Structure 1
Amino acid sequence: MDSMINENKISCLFLEVVCNFYENDMKAKKFGTDTDLYHSEIHMLEFIKENRGLNISGIARKLDITRGAVSQTIKRLEDKGFICKEPYRDTSCRFSIKLTEKGEIAYSNHKKYHEQYNIKIAEILKNSTAEEKNFLYQFLKKFKGKI
């Protein structure tokens, strides 16, 4: 191992990795469909799938974002055919939001996309000791707390 590795080299390499990941993750992807989905859109789909029966206000409350931000993303997803609104049984004034078949495909492929990272990380860490894994985890946890 390079005996000249210092905090600056580690910092530079870590920031390169973060920047590369961010640039890749922020690019629109099709997730097995014919339509591009942006980061905020695919994560809204994921949230809707995993928190069924919510309306726009409920989503905004749970995500701690404005109703306007939710409404804009929901409108884009509806226009692209990934979600649909269904009236609640007891009232036609309020709607719950659910994924369409196209939305389900995107959700499933997004899960597979994340699983690929889990596989890559497992491969990299397969020969690491518990102490090494613990150090890495604690480092990332502390770094997250500083940003």
Structure 2
Amino acid sequence: MKNYKNIIKLYFSSMKSFDKIEKTPKDFGTGDLLYGSEIHTIVAIGENPGSNMTEIAKIMDITKGGVQKFTKKLLAKDLIYKTHLPNNKKEVIFGLTKKGNIAFKMHEDFEQRRFGKIYDVMYDMEEKELQVLEDFLTKLNEILCAGE
């Protein structure tokens, strides 16, 4: 017998756990407590140095207003800097400060410790199993997002 309710229950239980991780601020080696949105902004900038606000918004799949809010907080904590392109004084681009680079590297370590076992489980799965899982989650997200 297929147990649909248990699968959905397990999915939402894991989502609650992810949500708790995101909403609990952490120190990534700089002495600053950073929320998930802040460290993910640092990661987006660290992986895409010289990005502007529009590019960061696209990378993070959030609004430019959201990026502006997060970058303002990170600038105040001296984790990122902003500058202008030499040939375009209107265009603002972002980079990581020394502190920001520390947080960026510590986040990679955190992710490996926190999610390494999940990656190991997926590594041991057959390609077909991974495709079924990806297809299910894609369809689930489409259904859930359509209700917004």
TM-score w.r.t. structure 2 length?
Answer: 0.77
Alpha-carbon RMSD across the aligned residues, in angstroms, is 2.7
Corresponding residue for 1:110? 107
Question: 1:9 and 2:21 equivalent?
Answer: no
Higher mean Cα deviation, 132-141 or 34-43? 132-141
- Of 3, 26, 30 in structure 2, the residue corresponding to residue 29 of structure 1 is 26
Distance in 2, matches of 1:85 and 1:7, equals: 49
Unaligned runs of 5+ in 1: none
Larger Rg: 1
Would you identify which runs of 4 or more consecutive aligned residues in structure 1 move more than 6 Å?
Answer: none
Distance in 2, matches of 1:59 and 1:122, equals: 26
Give the 3 Å change call, closer, same or farther, for CA 138–117 of structure 1 in structure 2.
farther
Distance in 2, matches of 1:93 and 1:7, equals: 53
Higher strand share: 2
Give the 3 Å change call, closer, same or farther, for CA 80–6 of structure 1 in structure 2.
same
% same residue = 30
Secondary structure at the residue paired with 2:38?
helix
Deviation at 1:61, TM superposition (A): 6.2
Unaligned runs of 5+ in 2: none
Higher mean Cα deviation, 78-87 or 53-62? 53-62
Q: Is the 8 A contact 2:22 2:37 kept in 1?
A: no
Secondary structure at the residue paired with 1:81?
coil
TM-score w.r.t. structure 1 length?
Answer: 0.77
Q: Is the 8 A contact 2:78 2:99 kept in 1?
A: yes
